[in-house]
């Protein structure tokens, strides 16, 4: 029987990425508070937040300095905007700080409220830029299958997941998708990672030539795929891809919404994977998820074109009410200051080998086919047959069952398409907490194996 809070939830809230029919029966997990890497439900039960909320609470929960930064800014200037030339100290200081951190040539920073908005703006600016430089036909955007870039109409069109397209009349025309860079699932027998990368680069070139280079504007990619399965690209992938893009004057947009601000042990994920983008999108860990804030970098050529268009048209016709919200910017400034002062990114690099050893060891489990990651992110794939990588019927919901068992064990992780389970804890997790996380995940896998056997769906091997 559902509690009073759960009943109220079911009757009032439309939940994102939720089976709405099943939710009416099961109700929500209602969380009441958080501290460090743990969150607590209304019964007081603690959970290790193994997904850092939604890949974002990098500094964990209830960080007093972030709370105070928000409180202080609320007391001084709770809101103003950046329209019509207005400005404020937090936006200026944060933009200066970000320009210094950017691994790509950057003239300006544009702020918005989320990763979806940032990637949507990337599309608009790419189109606007090509109009400004006399290439109005150069508008098509290429993304990857299983890539995730958001849920606005444009960003969902770039997203390469069926659930974001089915019955939504998406993707829009002009949005194309190429293969997922997942060696475990996509490689030919005995094909090396480097050879697989070369083949994917050749596929990309074929698509550009088929469509006409004069029509293709940009290629967007996450350094590590998040919602598509926590998939690490194969060796040599980005250098191979970038050679093709440079050949045909196609911009590379780095979607750093998940990987940015330390997740891979570098300030930005692309720095760990030889990714050299023209522009990047950011959000999530910029404020440790405490308050919505996103944005993107504007490279010098783009900046010059935008100024020229303002001269021509009389203004820049894009922006939202909360672009550069002062409270969000103040929290972001403090978040970055903590990353620097406490050497959080260096700490990720130091803890990553231990995290990855525990993750890799799960590949020996009877129902796990792949367990791979980088930094403090990773994914594992549950399979029915380890030898030939045969999967269970998706209708069995095996990964979802595993995640439910993990929750019972006091661990929050996330199931993704293809029976994959993602792990992405707060960056401040300690070595002992890493061990506790993987101990609980191992028990959840054991319980999943036993459930499969009881249901007559035994794994082979």
Q: Residue 3 has what pLDDT?
A: 73
Q: Residue 399 has what pLDDT?
A: 97
Asked whether the beta carbons of 424 and 377 are under 8 A apart, the reply is yes
> What tokens were used for 312?
């021509």
Q: Residue 4 has what pLDDT?
A: 87
Q: Residue 461 has what pLDDT?
A: 42
Beta bridge partners of 460: 385
- Residue 180: pLDDT over 80: yes
pLDDT one-digit tens code per residue, 64-107: 999 999 999 999 999 999 999 999 999 999 999 999 999 999 99
Domain residue ranges in the chain? 4-62+343-454, 66-341
End-to-end distance of the chain based on CA atoms, in angstroms? Answer: 40
- Residue 459: pLDDT over 60: no
Beta bridge partners of 239: none
Percent of the chain with pLDDT over 90: 97
CATH 3.65.10.10 is held by the domain 66-341: no
Identify the CA nearest to 262 among candidates 150, 349, 135.
349
Cis, peptide link before residue 171, omega less than 30° from 0: yes
Give the class (CATH, top level) of 4-62+343-454. alpha beta
pLDDT one-digit tens code per residue, 241-251: 999 999 999 99
pLDDT one-digit tens code per residue, 257-300: 999 999 999 999 999 999 999 999 999 999 999 999 999 999 99
With vertex at residue 140, the alpha carbon angle to CA 142 and CA 281, rounded to the nearest 5 degrees, is: 60
Mean pLDDT of 441-461: 87
Strands 414-416 and 420-423: antiparallel
Contacts (Cβ under 8 Å, ≥6 apart) of 349: 265, 266, 375
Asked whether the beta carbons of 110 and 324 are under 8 A apart, the reply is no
Arithmetic mean of pLDDT over the chain: 96
Strands 411-412 and 46-49: parallel
> What tokens were used for 80?
């103003």
Strands 368-374 and 414-416: unpaired
- Residue 1: pLDDT over 80: no
Q: Residue 314 has what pLDDT?
A: 95
pLDDT one-digit tens code per residue, 389-403: 999 999 999 999 999
Percent of the chain with pLDDT over 70: 99
Question: From edge to edge, which strands make up the β-sheet containing 411-412?
Answer: 31-35, 38-41, 46-49, 411-412
Q: What is the SS3 assignment for 166-232?
A: CCCCCCCCCEEEECCCCHHHHCCCCCCHHHHHHHHHHHHHHHHHHHCHHHEEEEEECCCECCCCCEC
Beta bridge partners of 298: 108
Asked whether the beta carbons of 372 and 359 are under 8 A apart, the reply is yes
Chain Cα centroid distance, residue 339: 19
- Residue 2: pLDDT over 80: no
Mean pLDDT of 117-135: 98
Mean pLDDT of 129-144: 97
To the nearest 10 degrees (0 to 180), the angle between helices 344-361 and 431-454 is 30
Contacts (Cβ under 8 Å, ≥6 apart) of 226: 55, 148, 257, 258, 259, 377, 422, 424
SS3 430: coil
Query: Cα separation of 49 and 35, whole Å?
Result: 10
Identify the CA nearest to 140 among candidates 250, 242, 237, 275.
250
pLDDT one-digit tens code per residue, 4-45: 899 999 999 999 999 999 999 999 999 999 999 999 999 999
Q: Residue 196 has what pLDDT?
A: 98
Query: Cα separation of 70 and 75, whole Å?
Result: 9
pLDDT one-digit tens code per residue, 199-255: 999 999 999 999 999 999 999 999 999 999 999 999 999 999 999 999 999 999 999
- Residue 123: pLDDT over 50: yes
Chain Cα centroid distance, residue 180: 15
């Amino acid at each position: 029987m559902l509690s009073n809070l759960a009943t109220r939830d079911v009757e009032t809230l439309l939940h994102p990425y939720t089976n709405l029919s099943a939710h009416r029966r099961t109700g929500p997990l209602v969380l009441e508070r958080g501290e460090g890497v743990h969150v607590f439900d209304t019964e007081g039960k603690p959970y290790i937040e193994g997904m850092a909320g939604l890949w974002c609470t990098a500094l964990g929960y209830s960080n007093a300095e972030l709370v105070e930064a928000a409180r202080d800014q609320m007391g001084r200037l709770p809101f103003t905007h950046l329209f019509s030339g207005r400005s404020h100290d937090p936006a200026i200081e944060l933009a200066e700080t970000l320009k210094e951190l950017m691994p790509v040539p950057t003239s300006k920073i544009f702020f918005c409220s989320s990763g979806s908005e940032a990637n949507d703006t990337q599309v608009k600016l790419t189109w606007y830029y090509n109009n400004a430089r006399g290439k109005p036909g150069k508008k098509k955007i290429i993304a990857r299958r299983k890539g995730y870039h958001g849920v606005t109409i444009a960003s969902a069109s770039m997203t390469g997941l069926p659930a974001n397209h089915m019955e939504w009349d998406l993707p829009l025309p002009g949005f194309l998708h190429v293969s997922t860079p997942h060696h475990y699932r996509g490689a030919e027998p005995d094909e090396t990672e480097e050879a697989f990368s070369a083949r994917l680069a050749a596929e990309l070139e074929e698509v550009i030539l088929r469509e006409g280079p004069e029509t293709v504007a940009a290629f967007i990619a996450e350094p590590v795929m998040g919602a598509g399965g926590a998939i690490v690209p194969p060796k040599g992938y980005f250098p191979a891809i970038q050679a093709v893009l440079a050949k045909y004057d196609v911009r590379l947009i780095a979607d750093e919404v998940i990987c940015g601000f330390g997740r891979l042990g570098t300030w930005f994920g692309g720095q760990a994977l030889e990714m050299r983008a023209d522009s990047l999108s950011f959000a999530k860990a910029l404020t440790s998820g405490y308050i919505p804030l996103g944005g993107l970098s504007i490279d010098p050529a783009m900046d010059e074109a935008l100024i020229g268009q303002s001269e021509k048209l009389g203004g820049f016709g894009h922006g939202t009410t909360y672009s550069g919200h002062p409270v969000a910017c103040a929290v972001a400034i403090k978040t970055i200051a903590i990353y620097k002062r406490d050497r959080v990114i260096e700490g990720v690099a130091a803890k990553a080998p231990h995290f990855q050893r525990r993750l890799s060891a799960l590949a020996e489990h009877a129902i796990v086919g792949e367990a791979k990651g980088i930094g403090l992110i990773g994914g594992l794939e549950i399979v029915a047959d380890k030898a030939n990588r045969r999967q269970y019927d998706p209708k069995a919901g095996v990964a979802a069952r595993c995640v439910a068992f993990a929750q019972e064990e006091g661990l929050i992780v996330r199931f993704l398409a293809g029976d994959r389970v993602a792990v992405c804890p707060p960056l401040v997790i300690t070595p002992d907490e890493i061990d506790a996380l993987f101990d609980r995940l191992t028990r959840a896998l054991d319980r999943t194996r036993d459930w499969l056997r009881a249901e007559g769906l035994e794994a082979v091997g």
